[in-house]
Structure 1
Amino acid sequence: MPNRPVLDFWYEFASPYSCLSALRIEKLAEEADVALRWRPFLLGPIFAAQGWNSSPFAIYPNKGRYMWRDTARRGRRLGIEMLKPENFPQNSLAAARLALAGREEGWTPAFSRAVFRAQFCEGRNIADEVVLGAALKQAGGEPGAAIPLSRSEEVKGRLRAEIEYARSIGIFGAPFFVTGDGEPFWGDDRLEEALGWARDGR
């Protein structure tokens, strides 16, 4: 459908709430007849501009404890067993570059879901090339080609541009959803509302 509404799905691989959205968004978007644009990016530079050197869930212990309890609770309702990896937040740079490298071949959504499951359902380290390679294979990508491509200046520049664009439109957290008419929605609990707005507008 040429006029099918589009929703931009901005996500950060180190974000547990992004994980919850990534593992359920495609079914909901299909039901709403909304096309998705998967937009991986990094929150680190955006947080740094606010004076934070880490995730607010790591900086503020009470907020972090609540987040893990909340994501576990939301996950159980969705049939997803969420767990806290040994290191949090994890370095998501390589994963984000790989996800961007897969856009043309179409395996970015499947790769992203596999990375999220590895980290927040299995407790794996997503900075580990072995973990990323396994996620690539699950998604139908070829690690021998995708990993070198993700290290290219072209893909590095693409990620920097995505981060700068996210900053320019006011994105400050993840997941973040932006409809075709520019309406912003922040948080996994706003996913359904974002899809409804994308489909029906104001």
Structure 2
Amino acid sequence: MPKTLEFLFDVGSPTTYLAHKRLPDVVARTGAEVVYVPVLLGGIFKATGNASPAMVPAKGVYMNADMGRFAKRFGVTLNMNPYFPINTLPMMRMIAGLVGDARFPKLVDALFDAMWRARKNMGDPAVAGEVLTAAGFDPAELLAISETPEAKDRLKANTEAAVARGVFGAPTFFVGDEMFFGQDRLDFVEAALGA
């Protein structure tokens, strides 16, 4: 039976995008089953007193350079979004509303790529609608899904549960009860999956 890897994510994080793009290779090498768990990074920051590295100018400059190194090493196209930071609540509610739906992976890919490949202003509803339409979705349907109590409650519950488990940022991974933070910890994640 393959091990399960929980991937706690928010599409507004460029390091989480890098992790998302690297996960297929991890799965190919380990046979792990990845469970995508949508969380609201802003909610995690608020609950834990943490903040985006971009809020510390020197750290933001370093992180951008470091992400560029990782993107190059792993052949991932990463284009920093000039509209960052973007309020991801509507997008993450859409994603939470599609958990268990066959369209879930396609939506996650489309939103990550819009943010970190195409550099789209996903905080603008018109731009978000264009991106969703181009990806084969009905923006009105996804907006309606995002406004359902089920989508809102799932995202809130996931975020609260993450904080209760000690999560303070994204990406965060769990192999069983063992937590790993950051896309730069995927080597440790892979080792835990192979143990």
> How high is the TM-score relative to the length of structure 2?
0.89
Any gaps of 5 or more consecutive residues in structure 2? none
- The 3 A distance-change label for structure 1 pair 32 and 137 is farther
Mapped partners of 1:31, 1:132: distance in 2 = 34
Match of 2:97 among 96, 101, 110: 101
Mapped partners of 1:47, 1:120: distance in 2 = 21
**1:186 is aligned to 2:168:** no
Name the structure 1 match of 2:47: 49
Q: Percent identity?
A: 31
**1:86 is aligned to 2:82:** yes
CA offset digits 1:24-56 (Å, max 9, x no partner): 21232133100010112112122223445xx43
What is the DSSP-based 3-state SS (H/G/I as helix, E as strand, rest coil) of the residue aligned with 1:184?
strand
* 1:28-177 equivalent positions in 2, closer than 5 A: 28-51=26-49, 55-137=51-133, 141-177=137-173
Contact 1:32 1:195 in 2 (8 A): yes
* Count of aligned pairs: 195
Quote the offset at 1:137 in angstroms: 5.0
Any gaps of 5 or more consecutive residues in structure 1? none
Which range moves more in the overlay, 27-36 or 75-84? 75-84
CA offset digits 1:94-152 (Å, max 9, x no partner): 11111111222122223222212211222111223344445545665443422211111
Quote the offset at 1:22 in angstroms: 0.8
Contact 2:48 2:168 in 1 (8 A): no
Which structure has more relative contact order (CA 8 Å, sep 6+)? It is 2
What is the DSSP-based 3-state SS (H/G/I as helix, E as strand, rest coil) of the residue aligned with 2:8?
strand
Which range moves more in the overlay, 165-174 or 129-138? 129-138
What is the DSSP-based 3-state SS (H/G/I as helix, E as strand, rest coil) of the residue aligned with 1:24?
helix
Aligned-residue CA RMSD (Å): 2.0
Quote the offset at 1:8 in angstroms: 0.2
Name the structure 2 match of 1:196: 191
Contact 1:137 1:143 in 2 (8 A): yes
> How high is the TM-score relative to the length of structure 1?
0.86
